[in-house]
A and B are shown apart, each in its own frame.
Chain A
Amino acid sequence: MAHLFAWVRVSGRENLTKLNGRALIASNHQSYFDTPVLFIAMPWKWRLRIAPTMSKEFFDARFHPEKYGHWKRFTSSLGYYLGCLVFNAVPIPQRESGTRQTLHYLGEMVEEGWCPLIFPEGEHSADDTILPFQAGVAMMASRLRVPVLPVRIRGSNRVLPLHSRFARPGFVDVVIGEPLRLEGEDFAALARTLEQTIRNL
């Protein structure tokens, strides 16, 4: 259905051949439409193996229902299960504890052939700018020793702006960059390198 609204133009698909099927996909984040756009941009072989990560805190009512009313619990849980079922989404904590378990879980996923999709900005950028990348993506890539596939998305913020209720059709450009390996312990610097790579795409 996303095809109706997002008319995706992809470049750089040839970079996918440089990978053996295991990668961490990192993209800038402009809209809730980014995930479907990325699914459209990828060939079928890859599309079936992408597992977008989502903020666990976004589904707070699902994980900590005691603080919320019934309606909020229901909608949050519905959103969570739909995300998991339709998009293979994985919740990862942004502020809560559990980094180690998350890393281990992602490590198992990578080993099973899944490609986690990460938005390292941690939130939407309302306009075409790219927000500073969080260091977590570099930690994942370095610790799991998996190459990162940088992806730049342009235009999804015009298809579904942040606070709008309905999508408007429009062109979305997706550029897939050359995979890069992030190795080392200085995660902030590695994340900056990745950010710069995506800016240059």
Chain B
Amino acid sequence: MTKLGAPPRETLLDLFRMVAEQAGEYLVYDDGYRPRSCSYADLVRAAGNCAARLEQAGIGPGDNVVLWSENRPEWVAAFWGCVLRGVVVTPIDERHSVNFLERIEQLVHPKAVFTGDEVSLPHSPSRVVWKLSEFDWTTEPRYSAVTPKPDDAVQILFTSGATAEPKGVVITHRNLLANTVPVEREIAKYRRYARPFSPIRFLNLLPLSHMFGQAMAIFIPPMLAGTVVFQRSQNPREIIRQIRTRRISVLVSVPKILEVLKEYVSGVAPESAVPSPAGTKLWRRWWRYRRAHRMFGMKFWSFIVGGAALDPNLEEFWGGLGFAVIQGYGLTEAAPIVTLNHPFHAGKGTVGKPIAGVEIRIAEDGEVLVRGGNVTSGYFNNAEATAEAFKEDWFHTGDIGEMDSSGRLLIKGRKKEMIVLADGRNVFPEDVERALDAQPGVRESAVVGLQDNRGEHVHAVLVLDGPHTAEDVIRGANAVLEEHQRVRGFTLWSHPELPRTEGMRKLKRRAILSLIQGESSPASPASGEGMSALLARYASGRAVDSSTTLDTTSAFLLWIASNSSSRWNRSSASPWMKRSSSKPGRLPSWKRSSASPRPWPPGRSPSSSSPGIAARGQGLSARSTSTCGFSPWPICSPGCGSPGART
């Protein structure tokens, strides 16, 4: 061991040796029915068996395999198996469609596709499919090891693009190690203090196809000989039960989960919704909110948040309760960490200081530029996109930020027009616009990320021709778009043209967005009472009123309503919850409405709109979610394990 506490690491194989040295329970997977666990030794054996299988199939260095699965221990085993054989992994989010997979296949020509149990891949004679659940965890592996070079690719992560060519970020051994070694050195300083609390358990709700999800499952926990728990369900009660019963210390998730948990905790322990006076000592706050702490169990202390921007109110809420909220900033292109808050000295509202080996510069226009060993060498077979992102050695992140006096980074906004949903997934407006423009009757369209109190959602601005209605157009476009790219609301533009720049005729999406936002923004739905207010709190990006049908809301909402009777109505501060449970007679107002046109929400009649905006719709009264393609899952993905998905 070197003086700095971390031995030299050149390739991921050195890191794998460290994983193999650890003992104890490593991965736990709870699919909602039966939890399964495996130790470090089991994982090393399974990874070796995967490598042996790859070798038998003649798959070796430089070849590609696709990994399309939910989070599960076999995912990690398959990843390491590929690293051991020098095979390049292309992970795909389980929520992506088969169509997306096929596009990736055309780009990388994988030799095999590893699939999980929650994805269904149609049979194709040209495709070799290996099911992760059939992995061999028992026999001792035999395979011939390869010796990769630091600049060999480990994985290619594709950004979604249903209509455009997906962009693949190539991540090498060097990139990943440049990111993990500084963290390892930092952890080495604190390892002996962590010993009384070990094993430190992480509940990881981020997808492993996401770089940050990988870092918090594959690379960082083994440094602490930690345990990583994956679970299918994203339901707050299940998350809290898992944290309490498994004695979890750290929850790794997107900000959306923190928000859902906040709602739940405020319902069950109403005192947590009332903030403590400023300057109250930690132990006093802990005692005051002891009911919330008891709910999570005594070992739980921190949230690590990634994937999307965290609302400062949420950070304040959980910080006020006495939990640590650790925020970082990262990009897939930076494999993934750029800055990270120190767990014990977190700067509120900031995303922390750059980790060792990463340089940050703020450009004249405020854009954050990154340079370092962790930054990718470029996009897969896409020199144009690479040249656009890299200028003078610096990677242009497209985010606007500034440094505070202590050297911590603050993210102020985005230069790119990409939409980042609250669950961390990115949507490129051009993709959605292309799908909208392909619909009959669309003269022009623009897609913007409209902000509401639940985060950003995809909003379309349309100029229509002929007899086609906006509902039909959006239904048609949503049918071809990926689940997260689907349009959740629309505005009809009364002028024949959308605003564009003079020379290049590029869409002025920012101007359009500010016009839409300037129009009366919807009143906070949380302020109301009754069932419609309850629904509106969860129907992100959708207006809920008397004409809202069950189809346009979701099974998850129904679940909340039904659960509020059994669990949440202990809250005296939540009159709307009580009413929902005690007066089931109110429910008929949800009944499927007739196909009559939607009444305009108060203060939002066409005549009262801003100039240029003819009409605005949110939460269309579609007859069926499956045909119109509106996602029925505002919070969970299908099959995530919420009772709506399984019985």
A18 to B37, CA, bound (A): 22
Residues from chain B with Cβ under 8 Å of A106 in the complex? 34
Q: Are B647 and A145 in contact (CB under 8 A)?
A: no
Contact of A100 among B34, B36, B646 (CB under 8 A): B646
A100 to B30, CA, bound (A): 13
Contact residues, A91-120 vs B (CB, 8 A)? 99-100, 103-104, 106-108, 110-111
Residues from chain B with Cβ under 8 Å of A110 in the complex? 34
Closest to B117 in A: A145
Residues from chain A with Cβ under 8 Å of B8 in the complex? none
Count of A residues near B, CB < 8 Å?
A: 13
Q: Are B647 and A143 in contact (CB under 8 A)?
A: no
Count of B residues near A, CB < 8 Å?
A: 10
Q: Are A111 and B37 in contact (CB under 8 A)?
A: yes
A100 to B644, CA, bound (A): 12
Q: Are A111 and B34 in contact (CB under 8 A)?
A: yes
Contact residues, A155-191 vs B (CB, 8 A)? none
Residues from chain B with Cβ under 8 Å of A108 in the complex? 34-35
Asked whether B32 is an interface residue with its Cβ less than 8 Å from the other chain, the reply is yes
Contact of B647 among A100, A107, A144 (CB under 8 A): A100
Per-residue CB contact flags for chain B residues 187-214 toward chain A (1 = under 8 Å, else 0) read 0000000000000000000000000000
Q: Are B34 and A145 in contact (CB under 8 A)?
A: yes
Closest to B37 in A: A111
Q: Are A111 and B35 in contact (CB under 8 A)?
A: yes
A104 to B232, CA, bound (A): 13
A100 to B233, CA, bound (A): 12
Contact of A103 among B33, B36, B37 (CB under 8 A): B33
Q: Are B646 and A107 in contact (CB under 8 A)?
A: no
A103 to B643, CA, bound (A): 13
Closest to A109 in B: B34
Q: Nearest chain A CB to B37's CB is how many angstroms away?
A: 7
Q: Are A100 and B643 in contact (CB under 8 A)?
A: yes
Q: Nearest chain A CB to B647's CB is how many angstroms away?
A: 7
Residues from chain A with Cβ under 8 Å of B37 in the complex? 111
Contact of A104 among B33, B36, B133, B647 (CB under 8 A): B33
Closest to A104 in B: B33
Q: Are B643 and A107 in contact (CB under 8 A)?
A: no
Per-residue CB contact flags for chain B residues 318-334 toward chain A (1 = under 8 Å, else 0) read 00000000000000000
| Most A C-beta atoms less than 10 A away, residue of B34, B35, B37, B646 | B34
Closest to B32 in A: A104
Q: Nearest chain A CB to B609's CB is how many angstroms away?
A: 47
Closest to A142 in B: B33
Q: Nearest chain A CB to B48's CB is how many angstroms away?
A: 20
Residues from chain A with Cβ under 8 Å of B133 in the complex? 145
Residues from chain B with Cβ under 8 Å of A99 in the complex? 647
Residues from chain A with Cβ under 8 Å of B32 in the complex? 100, 104
Per-residue CB contact flags for chain B residues 387-409 toward chain A (1 = under 8 Å, else 0) read 00000000000000000000000
Residues from chain A with Cβ under 8 Å of B646 in the complex? 100
Residues from chain B with Cβ under 8 Å of A104 in the complex? 32-34
Closest to B238 in A: A104
A110 to B34, CA, bound (A): 8
Per-residue CB contact flags for chain B residues 527-569 toward chain A (1 = under 8 Å, else 0) read 0000000000000000000000000000000000000000000
Q: Nearest chain B CB to A93's CB is how many angstroms away?
A: 14
Residues from chain A with Cβ under 8 Å of B647 in the complex? 99-100
| Most A C-beta atoms less than 10 A away, residue of B35, B643, B647 | B35
Q: Nearest chain A CB to B132's CB is how many angstroms away?
A: 13
| Most B C-beta atoms less than 10 A away, residue of A99, A106, A145 | A145
Q: Nearest chain B CB to A33's CB is how many angstroms away?
A: 31
Q: Are A144 and B35 in contact (CB under 8 A)?
A: no
Q: Nearest chain B CB to A189's CB is how many angstroms away?
A: 18
Residues from chain A with Cβ under 8 Å of B33 in the complex? 103-104, 107, 143-144
Contact residues, B109-138 vs A (CB, 8 A)? 133
Residues from chain B with Cβ under 8 Å of A146 in the complex? 34
A167 to B33, CA, bound (A): 39
A99 to B33, CA, bound (A): 10
Q: Nearest chain A CB to B26's CB is how many angstroms away?
A: 15
Q: Nearest chain B CB to A105's CB is how many angstroms away?
A: 10
Residues from chain A with Cβ under 8 Å of B643 in the complex? 100
Closest to A112 in B: B35
Q: Nearest chain A CB to B113's CB is how many angstroms away?
A: 21
A141 to B557, CA, bound (A): 30
Closest to A107 in B: B34
Closest to B646 in A: A100
Residues from chain B with Cβ under 8 Å of A100 in the complex? 32, 643, 646-647
Q: Nearest chain A CB to B27's CB is how many angstroms away?
A: 13
| Most B C-beta atoms less than 10 A away, residue of A99, A104, A106, A110 | A104
A98 to B538, CA, bound (A): 25
A146 to B32, CA, bound (A): 15
Q: Nearest chain B CB to A138's CB is how many angstroms away?
A: 14
Closest 4 pairs (CB-CB, A-B): A107-B34, A143-B33, A144-B34, A107-B33
A-B contact pairs, 24 of them (CB 8 A): A99-B647, A100-B32, A100-B643, A100-B646, A100-B647, A104-B32, A104-B34, A106-B34, A107-B33, A107-B34, A107-B35, A108-B34, A108-B35, A110-B34, A111-B34, A111-B35, A111-B36, A111-B37, A143-B33, A143-B34, A144-B34, A145-B34, A145-B133, A146-B34
A104-B32, A108-B34 given; 5 more Cβ-contact pairs under 8 Å: A100-B643, A103-B33, A107-B35, A143-B34, A145-B34
B contact set with A: CB distance below 8 Å: 32-37, 133, 643, 646-647
